[in-house]
Amino acid sequence: MKKTALYILIAVGLALFTWGVMLLLITGLLVALVPTLSPVLTSPPWMVPWGFTVELLTALGLIRLLSKGDWGRYGFSLRGNLELKKAAVAGLIVTCAINGVARILNLFFPITGHPSPTISVLYAVSVYCIFGPITEEIIFRGLTQSYLAMHLKGSFTLFKWRITFPALIAAILHAGVHIPLLFAGADILSVILIVSANFVVAVMLGYFRDQTGSLAAPILIHALYNVIGFIIP
């Protein structure tokens, strides 16, 4: 039991370090050394791509360290049945359902969201629908879930889908990192909706990561989720 708790704490630490701690450290250091970089690194439009770049490189570095070169154990594999067609269909169904529920809720409980700059479709697609999904899946399904899968066993059945505990924990972490939106100007109802939606989708992402042994299907579903939830509206 103690070992299980320790492995979970390590996984939480890996996720948080990769998602935000390293970014804050590097950004703070660069701004301190070169103050003129502050507007570029801490404000749109380069703030988000910069953040994803640091997070991606940090995750890849940790995976390289932990895997000792065996990248396949962390989802970097295109062998076997990737179930991309099944993943695409499941992703579309769940994403459309979540957006439908969100729009119905918005009729009764108007959601103000949080302030965001005006961006082009090209920027949104490249950053939020390609770069973002790849980075987040490598962090949560690649690094976090894979690490836990090597040390933590057990699963449960959800609508005939076998969900492992590592997938569940990674989904909780993935949803939880969106809570700081409260400090970025988002109202609490928006954050609850965003966190809940991300958790539901993340559970499905974890399922396909376990089923296929690859990050391909999770990245595809994540990209579809962002396209439908962000671009189309």
pLDDT > 60? residue 114: no
Q: How far is CA 190 from the centre of its chain?
A: 18
Per-residue pLDDT tens for 144-162? 999 999 999 999 998 888 9
230 token code pair: 């962000």
Residue 155's DSSP bridge partners are 164
Per-residue pLDDT for 69 more than 90? no
pLDDT at position 233: 57
100: exposed, middle or buried (Cβ count in 10 Å: 0-12, 13-18, 19+): exposed
